[in-house]
Amino acid sequence: MKSYFDIIALNIREHKDNIHQVMKLSVADLKKTYNGSALGWAWAVIKPVFTLFVYWFAISIGLRSGGDVGGYPFILWLVSGMVSWFFMGDAITGGTNCIRRYSYLVTKMKYPVMTIPTFTSLALLIVHLILVAVVILIFWIMGYPPTIYLVQLPFYMLLMFLFFNSWSLFAGLISAIGKDFSNLVKSFNIAVFWLSGILWNVENVADNKIVHTILMLNPVTFICYGYRNCFINKVWFFEEPEKLICFVCWYLVMGFLSLWAYKKLRKEIPDVL
C-alpha cells in the first residue's frame, strides 16, 4: 500500500513540476488535431452540431418519438445530455491511444508518463467549454435563459475530467502494451453510448428497478444526467447524494486501476514503444 501512496505523491509532484509544459502541450494537441483543415478549430463546433442535428432529425422527424421532456423541447433535452458525451466519448477512445500517440515524449525525451493523459484531457476540456457556451446560447435563444442551477456545471465538469483522466492513464498504459485493448474499447464505446440514457430517458424503465439501478450505476449516465439537472431538471447535486457517492466509488476504483497499471507497466513502456 505504501508504494501506491508513493505513486500518488510522484503524480502530484510531476504535475506540479510540469504544469506549464502540460498547458502548452494541451494547446499543441488541439492544434495537432485540427491542423491542415481549412476551417481549423471551427470543426470543434461543426462536427458536434452536425451530429446533434442527425440524431434530432432521426428521432423527432424519422421516428416521430421526440416529444417534450420536462416541459422543454426534445432538441434541448438532447443537446443538454449530448454535450457531455462529446467529451466522454472522445476521452474513452482518445485516452486509450494517448500514450502511443505521444510515444516520442516517453522514448526520446523521458517526459513524465502520468502527465500525458492530463494534457490530452485538457485539450478535450477546452473544446468542451466552447460547446457548453454554445449550448447555453441555444437555450437562451429558444427562450430559456440561464438559471442559478448552472453554477454547478463546473462541479460536474471537474468530476468528469478527473474520472476520465484516470481512465486515460489506465487505458493508455494497457493499450501501449497491447493494441487489442484499443480495439476492444472502440467496440464497447458504442454500447456505452446507447446504454447511458443520452438519447433516451432512463426513467422510462423505472418500473424495472433492477435494470434502472444498473443503468444509473453507469458513471457516464451520472454525468449526462448531472448536466440535464443543470439545464432542465433543476436539481442540485446534493439532492441525490446516493448517486454522487456511487460515482465517487467508481472514481476511486478507476484511480486505483490507473495506479496499479502505472506500477506494473512503467518500466516496460519505453521498451515497448
Q: How far is CA 266 from CA 39, 44, 182, in A?
A: 39, 33, 18
Q: pLDDT (tens digit, 9 = 90+) per residue, 199-233?
A: 887 877 777 788 778 888 889 999 999 999 999 98
- Rounded distance, CA 124 to CA 137, Å? 20
CA 163 to chain centre: 8
What is the Cα 133 distance to its own chain's centre? 17
User: Does residue 107 or residue 126 have the better pLDDT?
Assistant: 126
Long-range contacts: 40-46, Cβ < 8 Å, 24+? Answer: 44/127, 44/130, 44/131, 45/130, 45/131, 45/134
**197, 221 in Cβ contact below 8 A?**
yes
Quickly list DSSP for 112-138.
-GGGHHHHHHHHHHHHHHHHHHHHHHH
Whose cell is 510515444? That residue is 103
pLDDT over threshold 60, residue 161: yes
pLDDT at residue 35, as a whole number: 67
- For the residues 12-37, what does the mean pLDDT come to? 81
Radius of gyration of the chain (CA): 19
Average pLDDT of the segment spanning 261-271: 80
Does residue 141 surpass a pLDDT of 60?
yes
Q: What is the mean pLDDT of residues 144-170?
A: 94
pLDDT exceeds 60 at position 190: yes
- SS3 of 69, please? strand
